[in-house]
């Protein structure tokens, strides 16, 4: 669900939406967030924006004292002075993804997306590694070795997780 506040909107829910967004924003205090800026495409299709590819305007930071005062978004970056702010023309909170989209009043061609920093998993691909299995105490040990990459992955599995792995392999 998206909660939208827009300047000069006739939507009777506009004040309540702004308050809900203000509460969400204030809860980001002292948390690591991602801050991403993108240009809005000429055809205005926001869904076409690539948020996955990092650019020079992307950063992870910890914000302090996030507040919404009027229609201006305030915060401190990494507890450093001065206080920063953006006056919004529109705010859109995606409650499912926990992302706030800020449409700055002063830069209508720019869209800013703010959200809690996400865990990024890095994938290591092993093609036909050698496999060794055994037990260590109550756990099962799975050792995968890729001699060409000089990589070794050691996986310790509980009996429950070993059964899940075996079941998932049977289903494939």
Residues in CB range of 99: below 8 A, 6 or more apart: 93, 113, 114, 115
First CA to last CA distance, the chain: 35
Q: Which of 35-39, 49-53, 103-107, 112-116 has the lowest mean pLDDT?
A: 49-53
Does residue 7 have a pLDDT over 90?
Answer: yes
Model pLDDT for residues 29-63, shown as the tens digit of each residue: 999 999 999 999 888 788 889 888 888 889 999 99
What DSSP element (H or E) covers 71?
none
Domains of the chain in sequence order: 2-116 (2.70.180), 130-171 (no CATH)
Scan for tokens 């002292």, then name that residue.
30
Provide the pLDDT for residue 6: 96
- pTM equals 0.69
């Amino acid at each position: 669900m998206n909660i939208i506040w827009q300047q000069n909107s006739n939507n009777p829910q506009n004040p309540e939406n702004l308050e809900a967004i203000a509460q969400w924003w204030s809860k980001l205090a002292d948390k690591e967030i991602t801050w991403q800026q993108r240009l809005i495409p000429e055809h205005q299709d926001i869904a076409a924006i690539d948020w996955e590819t990092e650019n020079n305007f992307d950063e992870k930071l910890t914000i302090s004292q996030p507040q919404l005062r009027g229609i201006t978004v305030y915060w401190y970056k990494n507890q450093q002075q001065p206080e920063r702010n953006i006056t919004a023309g529109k705010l859109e909170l995606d409650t499912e993804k926990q992302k706030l989209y800020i449409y700055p009043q002063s830069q209508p061609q720019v869209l800013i997306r703010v959200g809690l920093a996400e865990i990024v998993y890095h994938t290591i691909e092993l093609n036909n590694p050698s496999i060794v299995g055994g037990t260590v105490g109550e756990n099962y040990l799975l050792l995968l070795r890729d001699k060409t990459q000089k990589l070794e992955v050691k996986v310790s599995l509980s009996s429950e997780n070993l059964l899940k792995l075996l079941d998932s392999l049977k289903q494939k």
